[in-house]
A and B are shown apart, each in its own frame.
Chain A
Amino acid sequence: MRLLRDWLAGIPAYLWSGWGAIASLLLFLALWEWGSIHYGELILSDPRSTFARLVELMQQGTAWPELATTAKRALIGFALAIAAGSFLGMLAGLSMTASMMSRPIITVLIGTPPIAWLVLALLWFGAGDGTPVFTVFVAALPIVFIGAMQGTRTLDGQLHDMASTFRLPATMRFTDVYLPHLLSYLFPAWITALGISWKVVIMAELLATADGVGAALAVSRSHLDTTSTLAWIAAIVGLLLAVEYLLLEPIKRELESWRDTA
């Protein structure tokens, strides 16, 4: 509750601090427009017709269902990854041996390109929801796992002793001593994992499914429709930016406010 209140109270100041970001985004749009003039409409449509197409897609009612399908797949894979990754990572972090043993496995998981997982997933799950969900899960899992493991490994032994001498009960030890520290590692990992999920789901859909934003991108590509392609890209990037900067970043700041940043 307190978190929600602080989040709402922090929004105006936070938005005001966003002017710099908006200025750099506008600069990027200007570059885009310049590129479009330079290379022509077929190679790079200009921003105005791209956004006009996006509005059109939304008014036709084609955009929202596709975005919802994609979001559903991304979020299921993401949710599975943060549940499994946080739990297993914390478990591994509790033991020195488990941490050392899991390191190379995580490196292998991170090093394996998502497209390779996608091919395997196609073989295992066929063309359906399973393939993008699995690919997202595998791509996001190691990031969350590492965050959880680092958080657990860096728990302060001195605070642990302090908690013992002050006879803190087990639940209070977790909520008051361990959890705030863990969250300061977990939450940034979750944000990174969400970004990865969102990118990977589009890729998976492009190759594996008949619906979702990825599939829509495949269709517009086959029609050589650059404007629609860019409109879809704008939609997914815009959605990610909105979720990250309006929802997650303020929560992250609130959770980490105790850290020595000043």
Chain B
Amino acid sequence: MITKSQPGLHIRALTHRYTVNPVLEHIELDLTPGTVLALVGPSGCGKTTLLHLCAGLLTPREGRIDNGFTRPACVFQQPRLLPWKNAQDNIALGLKAQGIPTQQRRERATNLGQRIGLDQEDLGKLPRQLSGGMQSRVALARALVLDPDLLLLDEPFSALDIGLKEELYRLMLDQQRGRGMAVLMITHDLMEAVRLSDAILVMAPEPGRIVHRFEIAQPPQTRDEPFVYHTTARLLSHPTVRESFGLAPSYPEQSGSARTSP
């Protein structure tokens, strides 16, 4: 059941199954306007299913999703651009769906495209003529141009190199702060989660469930490298988090001791 009521996204007692075994069990989650929430966890823990449920691509069977956001937008793991449209028209796709006139939507697409590092020439190119990083920018711009109040991100940065990641992080945070947008992001990169989010939910597989909640009070734009490294290490030292990722418990006396097997 999806209902619209108070602002924010509120999930209560959500259980989802494709066949018999649940992929998600008893998920409880609150996302308020203007905050960034990261979902981390090993592969197969149901992160993407949860995101698809929030995006309305799947219908919840058990439990409730109260989605008070009115203008959600998605960025997927793959750019998912229309190969027959140039970058500009791809960015403007959601605006076209809203019935905004051609001239106006091209202008908005161009403005945002330029802010996000795509010049006039890039905007005229077809997706196959753009590099992977450029395609990711187009996909992000296609979501941001809608001025969403909720941005759903499914590991959109996972295939990018470090420099480009940093740049897109900055872009996303700028946009997020400027608009008071809420972000629900999936990642398996803990550092990425620590860098960007206000709270991290750690998920464990079989069945997919939330096992740990980790809050970060310091504002994202003031987090420097040492902070990110230390916080990630702190998060990773938590026994529940280690267990969910299938890591061995961290006992200091064991580290570094090499053993030869008979």
Binding site for B on A (CB under 8 A): 158-159, 161-162, 164-169, 172, 176-177, 180-181, 257-260, 262
Contact = CB atoms under 8 A, between A and B. Distances in A.
A123 to B, nearest CB: 47
Interface of B: 52, 55-57, 72-74, 76, 78, 80, 82-85, 93-94, 96-98, 126, 128, 142, 146, 152
Nearest to A176: B82
A187 B93 CA distance: 25
Nearest to A261: B128
Contacts of B78: 158
A258 B83 contact: yes
A167 B94 contact: yes
B89 to A, nearest CB: 9
Given A166-B94, A176-B93, A260 B128 contact: yes
29 contacts: A159-B80, A159-B82, A161-B52, A161-B57, A162-B74, A162-B76, A164-B57, A165-B55, A165-B56, A165-B73, A165-B74, A165-B152, A166-B73, A166-B93, A166-B94, A167-B94, A167-B97, A168-B97, A169-B97, A172-B96, A176-B82, A176-B85, A176-B96, A180-B84, A257-B126, A258-B84, A258-B126, A259-B128, A262-B128
A177 B89 CA distance: 12
Contacts of B73: 165-166
10 tightest A-B contacts by CB?
A258-B84, A180-B84, A165-B74, A166-B94, A162-B80, A168-B97, A258-B83, A260-B128, A165-B55, A158-B80
A257 B86 CA distance: 12
A259 to B, nearest CB: 7
A166 B97 contact: yes
Q: Which of B57, B73, B80 has the most CB of A within 10 A?
A: B80
Given A165-B74, A166-B73, A172-B97, A177 B56 contact: no
Contacts of B96: 172, 176
Contacts of A161: 52, 57, 76, 80
Contacts, number: 54
Q: Which of B55, B57, B82, B146 has the most CB of A within 10 A?
A: B82
Contacts of B76: 158, 161-162
Contacts of B82: 159, 176-177, 180
Nearest to B152: A165
Contacts of A166: 73-74, 93-94, 97, 142, 146
Contacts of B80: 158-159, 161-162
Contacts of B146: 166
A260 B85 CA distance: 13
A176 B93 CA distance: 9
B83 A165 contact: no
A177 B81 CA distance: 10
A180 B96 CA distance: 17
Contacts of A167: 94, 97-98
A258 to B, nearest CB: 4
B204 to A, nearest CB: 26
Given A161-B52, A165-B152, A258-B128, 14 more contacts: A158-B76, A158-B80, A161-B57, A161-B76, A162-B76, A164-B56, A165-B56, A166-B93, A167-B98, A168-B97, A176-B96, A181-B84, A257-B126, A258-B84
Contacts of A164: 56-57
Nearest to A183: B84
A15 to B, nearest CB: 25
A167 B82 CA distance: 15
Contacts of B83: 258-259
A49 B152 CA distance: 73
A48 to B, nearest CB: 47
Given A158-B78, A180-B84, A165 B72 contact: yes
A3 to B, nearest CB: 13
Contacts of B98: 167
Nearest to B52: A161
Given A158-B76, A172-B96, A176-B93, A165 B57 contact: yes
A258 B129 CA distance: 9
A180 B86 CA distance: 13
A181 B98 CA distance: 23
